[in-house]
Copies of this chain bind each other. A is one copy, B any other.
Amino acid sequence: MTGLEPHQLSLNTATLREQWDLAQCIEGCARHGFGGISPWRDKLQEMGVTRAAKAIRDTGLGVSGLCRGGWFTASGAVDRAVLDDNRRAVDEAAEIGAECLVMVVGGLSTGSRDLPAAWALVEEGLAATLDYGREVGMKIAIEPLHPMYAANRACVNTMRHALDICDRLGPGIGCAVDVYHVWWDPDLAEQITRAGRDRIMAFHLCDWLVPTRDMLTDRGMMGDGVIDIPRLRGMVEAEGFSGLNEVEIFSALDWWRRDPDDVMRTIIQRGRNVC
**Residues in chain A within 8 A of chain B (CB atoms):** 108, 112-115, 119, 146-148, 150-152, 155-158, 160-161, 164, 183-187, 208, 210-212, 215, 226-228
Contact = CB atoms under 8 A, between A and B. Distances in A.
Contacts of A226: 108, 112-113, 151
B113 A152 contact: no
Contact of A115 (B150, B210, B212, B228): B228
Contacts of A215: 148, 211-212, 215
Contact of A184 (B112, B114, B155, B210): B155
Given A108-B226, A158-B186, A184-B157, A151 B210 contact: yes
Nearest to A188: B115
A157 B152 CA distance: 20
A108 B158 CA distance: 20
A170 B186 CA distance: 20
Contact of A150 (B158, B184, B228): B184
Identical copies of this chain, number: 2
A152 B210 contact: yes
A148 B151 CA distance: 14
Q: Which 8 A-B pairs have the closest CB atoms?
A: A150-B184, A113-B228, A148-B148, A147-B184, A161-B186, A151-B226, A147-B147, A151-B210
Contacts of A157: 184-186
Contact of A227 (B113, B183, B186): B113
A244 B151 CA distance: 27
Contacts of A227: 113
Contacts of A161: 186-187
A222 to B, nearest CB: 11
Contact of A211 (B146, B147, B152): B152
A177 to B, nearest CB: 15
Nearest to A119: B186
A146 B151 CA distance: 13
B211 A187 contact: no
A269 B215 CA distance: 31
Nearest to A160: B187
Contacts of A211: 152, 215
Query: Which of A152, A164, A226: most chain B Cβ within 10 A?
Result: A226
Nearest to A227: B113
